[in-house]
Chain A
Amino acid sequence: MADTPKEIYFKKKEIAEDSDGSKELQVQRFSRLNRLLHIIMIISFINLALTGMSLKFSYTGWAVFLSHLFGGFESAGWIHRFSAVIMILVFTMHIIDILRQKKKEKKSWIMMVFDTDSMMFNKKDLHDLIDSIKWFLGKGERPEYGRWTYWEKFDYFAVFWGMIVIGSTGLTLWFPEFFTQFIPGWAINVATIIHSDEALLAVGFIFTIHFFNTHMRPEKFPMDIVIFSGRYPLEEFKMDRPEEYRQLVERGELEKYMVEPYPSIVLRTIKLFGWAALCIGFSIVIWIIYAMIFAYK
């Protein structure tokens, strides 16, 4: 399997380690907290997806199997609610983290939004999008992507939006007796549809488009572990995000982000986890497609 660039790289690195003990430094991309939150979010999201989809597609055999696997609809329900709470906590933590960052770096809101490192869409993203399409169609070079590409920003806000929509409707469905004191009974039906279809969108999007965009692209195949390790080789960084690299070099900050790579045991664990998440995700996608095409009622 020496044909993939990353594997070649890792193999090389191991050899290098063995031969002279020195380690080639890598570029830090994600903070420890963000990586942790992402891992927790994966676990909670997969649990939410499995338990939720088993209810949504209850007319299929796999749904019945899943529901029993989770110990029945009631215990599946509690796992769903527990995971939802975790997800909300992850979301809250992320917000707190942003606020803390703002305080630490003493940035104004405007700076937060219009900073080059900001998750907010900006003019460059529009240019990047147009240039990307040109590139896809063979009418240009690959755009020089920065710290956050437009599709990454899209993913981020998709999740942000999903959190609010699914979270709020989910709470309504969790406590209908409380909420119907303020909203009519039919709103519960509407909430059900929104919750369920938005969840379908989220699950579908994450397990196909997001998987492809960030992990499964041929150049990253079989998976990009940077979200777990938080660091990647300088070469890869240069090729992937030339704009960001250029800025870092210009500011002379590159050295600040150079860190030691993880030992191979950590990387292997990460890969194992990644594979598990990928498999579950793809299974869910296949089950949903099966349910919608062959068993739709």
Chain B
Amino acid sequence: MLKLKIFTVFAGLLFLLLNIETAAQDKSDCLMCHGDKSQYGERNGKKFSVFVDEKKFNSSVHGKIDCIGCHVDLKGSDFPHTDKVQKATCGGCHKDIQKMYDESLHGQAIRKGDNLAPYCKDCHGNHEIFPVKDPQSSVYPMKIPMLCGKCHREGSPVQIQRHIPQDSILENYTESIHGEGLLKKGLLVAASCVSCHSSHHILPHTDPRSTISRNNIAHTCAACHVGIEQVHRRIIKGQLWEKEAHVLPACVDCHQPHKIRKVFYDQGFADKECLTCHERKNIKSSVDGRSLFVDYAKMKESMHAKITCSQCHTGVNPSKMRPCENLSNKKVDCTSCHSQVGSDYQRSIHGKLFAKKDPNAPICSECHGTHEILGKKDPNSPIFATNIPVLCGNCHREGEKAAARKHSSEKNIITNYSESIHGRGLLKSGLTVTATCTSCHTAHKELPHTDPESSVNPKNVASTCGACHHGIQEQFEKSVHSAFVTKTDKKLPSCNDCHTAHGINRTDTEGFRLKIMDQCGKCHEVIAKTYFDTYHGKVSQLGYSKTAKCYDCHGSHDILPVSNPASHLNRKNVVKTCQKCHTNANKQFAGYFTHATHHDPAKYPLLFWTFYGMTGLLVGTFVIAGIHTLLWLPRSLQWRRRLKKKQSSKDEKENSKE
């Protein structure tokens, strides 16, 4: 290699000497070295080939141009030229394009030194540039999506690191009508990236000069879709296309950029045409006689004020005198806009019933209304917080259709809710932040608690309640009752197991404090029963809530194993726990068995034997005294008769005396 380099240097020097007076450098001069495939250059410690394929170069668009026509900095330089060669200048010839490029996002990025920004050669190649229409060309229309997609595909550094407002561009384009035309059907005239964005003058849509700016987009699209305004004549009057482009909807408002398939053709279809009939108050359905009147003024105050009739009532035919004449979609499909809500609904029990054509299944309009839909923050809306219990109660109140069909353990849902802390907060105190039906059951994805995806599934209840009661959730998830802590096949409790689902009460009320067997006792039956053998439990049984309940000692949400130093009943903390009520409690005091039972000789032998000793004393005393008394009874009766006789004989004596 060294030999070769020396040779090159010598050859170069020789050439220079020979051609010293002929200053003109032609292609063949350069190719003397650059025609050699083994030639390489070095920049920043990296080797790269400097070979130029003469044959291909000659057939390129620049075949007749000398090297120095582009590599202007090498003009007149000696052989071998310096290592620091400037980039080839395209702008020398392509002045207009260079200017557009400089203004473009790409050009701006280059000036900022963005290493991801493309140069001319990144799209066009360097020595082997072919005409656009030559399939060999890297900018041949069929290749454009992949060429731009090199940088603008999902996951590329540009897409990740630079601010690009659209996502999945290449994928969406490929599936769009344009992409399909170009790439699958080979229609070279189908729009590619550059058709809309231009090839060199690529500007953001916010730039008024951009081909995709709001004002220019119609023009850009019309380059191919000539006379498109004729198709849209029902929507936009012809002359407005040019005159008032800024107020008109831009093509991309309906035909989303890159996607261009999911189309709201009907948007903007003049409501006026519908109102000619539907504004009449006496208009009635010829099928079932229901009123078809639409209060347009009210509709314009609704959430859908900016939505036109035809956007929801799709399938109208603008060319008909009565556009709704052959209306294909009799029912409004809200999901065409509210797609996420729609898929939630379809997953929900309501949606599933609807899919089964169950007449009880509620559809969107049953909760939200039809033309006068109001937002959930509007107090007049049926979905305003304070109205939700009424709304859900329409079906779920006892005796109504949902309550009647549901085979659930939950009864009197609405009544219980209204009397609960949540219900009273909402309905009596007017706290709109209080939990309503939808806070727990979600608004659209209501699922039975048995469904693992349900917000009220035992696994999800803690996080559902935690949405408001976050601090409690944090405590709970560290406690023995949390599935994060205790791995068991047994059922772990969730919030509703102690607090109930709908009738949630304040925990300091008697109603709550006296339901020990419904709370802890549900699972800890044996130990809970022993509680009732002690003073605490006995007082509870009498109906008084003042004595200690399970959670007064064990904690409520933060129940931990006794061995845990943070446990309320840990050796270190237990005296303090007792002192909550028994101010002067000491260490020995805490040795009191709060779950003592005299039925367990293994666990509490002392209590067992004391009890049986006392019982023995009791039974013994009663047996002996009882036998004594029973034996006495007949004699006593006899004695009574004797007394009586004696008494009467004495009386007789006294009587005879008198």
Asked if residues B614 and A193 are in contact (CB atoms below 8 Å), the reply is: yes
* Closest 10 pairs (CB-CB, A-B): A185-B591, A197-B614, A136-B631, A185-B592, A180-B589, A58-B541, A177-B584, A58-B538, A180-B588, A219-B640
Determine the chain B residues whose CB is within 8 A of the CB of A212 once the complex forms.
629
B93 CB–A CB distance under 8 Å: no
15 A-B interface contacts by CB (under 8 A): A56-B538, A72-B544, A132-B632, A137-B631, A142-B635, A173-B535, A177-B584, A181-B588, A188-B592, A209-B629, A212-B629, A213-B629, A217-B632, A218-B637, A219-B643
Extra A-B contacts (11), CB below 8 Å, given A192-B534, A193-B610: A58-B532, A68-B543, A72-B544, A73-B546, A142-B635, A142-B639, A189-B607, A193-B607, A197-B611, A197-B617, A219-B639
**Residues 43-93 of A contacting B (Cβ, < 8 Å):** 54-56, 58-59, 63-64, 67-68, 72-74
What 1/0 mask marks residues of chain B from 187 to 212 whose CB sits below 8 Å from any chain A CB? 00000000000000000000000000
Given contacts A55-B539, A177-B582, A185-B588, contact A73 B632 (CB under 8 A): no
Asked if residues A59 and B532 are in contact (CB atoms below 8 Å), the reply is: yes
Asked if residues B639 and A180 are in contact (CB atoms below 8 Å), the reply is: no
Segment among A5-13, A244-252, A261-269 that sits at the interface with chain B: A5-13
Minimum CB–CB distance for B538 against chain A, Å: 4
| Assembly CA distance A30 to B355 (angstroms) | 93
| Assembly CA distance A50 to B607 (angstroms) | 25
B622 CB–A CB distance under 8 Å: yes
Given contacts A176-B582, A193-B607, A205-B625, contact A55 B632 (CB under 8 A): no
A interface with B by C-beta (< 8 Å): 3, 5, 8-9, 12, 54-56, 58-59, 63-64, 67-68, 72-74, 132-133, 135-137, 142, 151, 158, 173, 176-178, 180-181, 183-186, 188-190, 192-194, 197-198, 200-201, 204-205, 208-209, 212-213, 217-219, 221, 235, 239, 297
What is the count of residue pairs linking A and B with beta-carbon distances less than 8 angstroms? Answer: 150
Asked if residues A73 and B586 are in contact (CB atoms below 8 Å), the reply is: no
Determine the chain A residues whose CB is within 8 A of the CB of B614 once the complex forms.
193-194, 197-198, 201
Asked if residues A192 and B636 are in contact (CB atoms below 8 Å), the reply is: no
Main secondary structure of the interface of B (DSSP, over half): helix
B542 CB–A CB distance under 8 Å: yes
| Assembly CA distance A181 to B590 (angstroms) | 11
Main secondary structure of the interface of A (DSSP, over half): helix
- Nearest residue in B to A173 (C-beta to C-beta)? B535
- Nearest residue in B to A176 (C-beta to C-beta)? B589
Asked if residues A185 and B618 are in contact (CB atoms below 8 Å), the reply is: no
| Assembly CA distance A221 to B551 (angstroms) | 55
| Assembly CA distance A57 to B639 (angstroms) | 39
Determine the chain A residues whose CB is within 8 A of the CB of B598 once the complex forms.
193
**Residues 15-69 of B contacting A (Cβ, < 8 Å):** none
Minimum CB–CB distance for A49 against chain B, Å: 15
B651 CB–A CB distance under 8 Å: yes
- Nearest residue in A to B617 (C-beta to C-beta)? A201
Count chain A CB atoms within 10 A of each CB in B606, B626, B629 and give the residue with the most: B629
| Assembly CA distance A218 to B635 (angstroms) | 9
Asked if residues A184 and B615 are in contact (CB atoms below 8 Å), the reply is: no
Which of B547, B589, B628 interacts with A185 by CB under 8 Å? Answer: B589
Count chain A CB atoms within 10 A of each CB in B592, B615, B644 and give the residue with the most: B592
- Nearest residue in A to B658 (C-beta to C-beta)? A19
B343 CB–A CB distance under 8 Å: no
Given contacts A64-B543, A204-B618, contact A177 B585 (CB under 8 A): yes
Minimum CB–CB distance for B450 against chain A, Å: 35
B484 CB–A CB distance under 8 Å: no
Determine the chain A residues whose CB is within 8 A of the CB of B546 once the complex forms.
73-74
**Residues 616-655 of B contacting A (Cβ, < 8 Å):** 617-618, 621-622, 625-626, 628-629, 631-637, 639-640, 643-644, 646-647, 650-651
Determine the chain A residues whose CB is within 8 A of the CB of B634 once the complex forms.
136
Asked if residues A218 and B636 are in contact (CB atoms below 8 Å), the reply is: yes
Determine the chain A residues whose CB is within 8 A of the CB of B646 once the complex forms.
235, 239
Asked if residues B610 and A136 are in contact (CB atoms below 8 Å), the reply is: no
- Nearest residue in B to A54 (C-beta to C-beta)? B542
Given contacts A9-B647, A142-B639, A186-B593, contact A73 B544 (CB under 8 A): yes
Asked if residues B539 and A73 are in contact (CB atoms below 8 Å), the reply is: yes
Residue count of chain B within 8 Å CB distance of chain A? 56
Asked if residues B615 and A197 are in contact (CB atoms below 8 Å), the reply is: yes
Which of A12, A64, A221 interacts with B542 by CB under 8 Å? Answer: A64
| Assembly CA distance A177 to B588 (angstroms) | 9
- Nearest residue in B to A236 (C-beta to C-beta)? B643
Determine the chain B residues whose CB is within 8 A of the CB of A213 once the complex forms.
629
Determine the chain B residues whose CB is within 8 A of the CB of A136 once the complex forms.
631-632, 634-635
B596 CB–A CB distance under 8 Å: yes
- Nearest residue in A to B629 (C-beta to C-beta)? A212
| Assembly CA distance A201 to B542 (angstroms) | 23
Determine the chain A residues whose CB is within 8 A of the CB of B588 once the complex forms.
180-181, 183-185
Minimum CB–CB distance for A173 against chain B, Å: 8
Asked if residues A185 and B541 are in contact (CB atoms below 8 Å), the reply is: no
Determine the chain A residues whose CB is within 8 A of the CB of B632 once the complex forms.
132, 136, 217
| Assembly CA distance A151 to B534 (angstroms) | 36
Given contacts A5-B644, A180-B586, contact A205 B633 (CB under 8 A): no
Minimum CB–CB distance for A26 against chain B, Å: 16
Asked if residues B590 and A185 are in contact (CB atoms below 8 Å), the reply is: yes
Which of A132, A189, A194 interacts with B596 by CB under 8 Å? Answer: A189
| Assembly CA distance A142 to B642 (angstroms) | 12
Asked if residues A190 and B651 are in contact (CB atoms below 8 Å), the reply is: no
Count chain A CB atoms within 10 A of each CB in B541, B585, B633 and give the residue with the most: B541
Minimum CB–CB distance for A7 against chain B, Å: 10
| Assembly CA distance A193 to B187 (angstroms) | 98
Given contacts A8-B647, A186-B606, A194-B610, contact A177 B542 (CB under 8 A): no
| Assembly CA distance A178 to B583 (angstroms) | 11
Minimum CB–CB distance for B12 against chain A, Å: 105
Determine the chain B residues whose CB is within 8 A of the CB of A151 once the complex forms.
628
Given contacts A55-B539, A189-B596, contact A180 B631 (CB under 8 A): no
Asked if residues B644 and A177 are in contact (CB atoms below 8 Å), the reply is: no
What 1/0 mask marks residues of chain B from 419 to 451 whose CB sits below 8 Å from any chain A CB? 000000000000000000000000000000000
| Assembly CA distance A17 to B523 (angstroms) | 75
Determine the chain B residues whose CB is within 8 A of the CB of A190 once the complex forms.
606-607, 610
Minimum CB–CB distance for A189 against chain B, Å: 4
- Nearest residue in A to B628 (C-beta to C-beta)? A151
- Nearest residue in B to A198 (C-beta to C-beta)? B614
Determine the chain A residues whose CB is within 8 A of the CB of B589 once the complex forms.
176-177, 180, 185, 188
- Nearest residue in B to A63 (C-beta to C-beta)? B542
Minimum CB–CB distance for A205 against chain B, Å: 6
**Residues 542-566 of B contacting A (Cβ, < 8 Å):** 542-544, 546-547
Asked if residues A12 and B651 are in contact (CB atoms below 8 Å), the reply is: yes
| Assembly CA distance A200 to B616 (angstroms) | 12
Determine the chain B residues whose CB is within 8 A of the CB of A59 once the complex forms.
532, 541
Minimum CB–CB distance for A291 against chain B, Å: 12
Minimum CB–CB distance for A142 against chain B, Å: 7
| Assembly CA distance A184 to B589 (angstroms) | 7
**Residues 508-534 of B contacting A (Cβ, < 8 Å):** 529, 532, 534
Which of B611, B626, B637, B640 interacts with A193 by CB under 8 Å? Answer: B611
Determine the chain B residues whose CB is within 8 A of the CB of A200 once the complex forms.
618
Determine the chain A residues whose CB is within 8 A of the CB of B547 once the complex forms.
73
| Assembly CA distance A18 to B591 (angstroms) | 71
- Nearest residue in B to A213 (C-beta to C-beta)? B629
Minimum CB–CB distance for A149 against chain B, Å: 11
Determine the chain A residues whose CB is within 8 A of the CB of B628 once the complex forms.
151
| Assembly CA distance A111 to B424 (angstroms) | 78
Asked if residues A297 and B532 are in contact (CB atoms below 8 Å), the reply is: yes
Determine the chain B residues whose CB is within 8 A of the CB of A54 once the complex forms.
542
Determine the chain B residues whose CB is within 8 A of the CB of A201 once the complex forms.
614, 617-618, 621
Determine the chain B residues whose CB is within 8 A of the CB of A189 once the complex forms.
534, 592-593, 596, 604, 606-607
Asked if residues A185 and B593 are in contact (CB atoms below 8 Å), the reply is: yes
Asked if residues A181 and B538 are in contact (CB atoms below 8 Å), the reply is: no
| Assembly CA distance A65 to B217 (angstroms) | 85
Which of A5, A183, A186 interacts with B647 by CB under 8 Å? Answer: A5
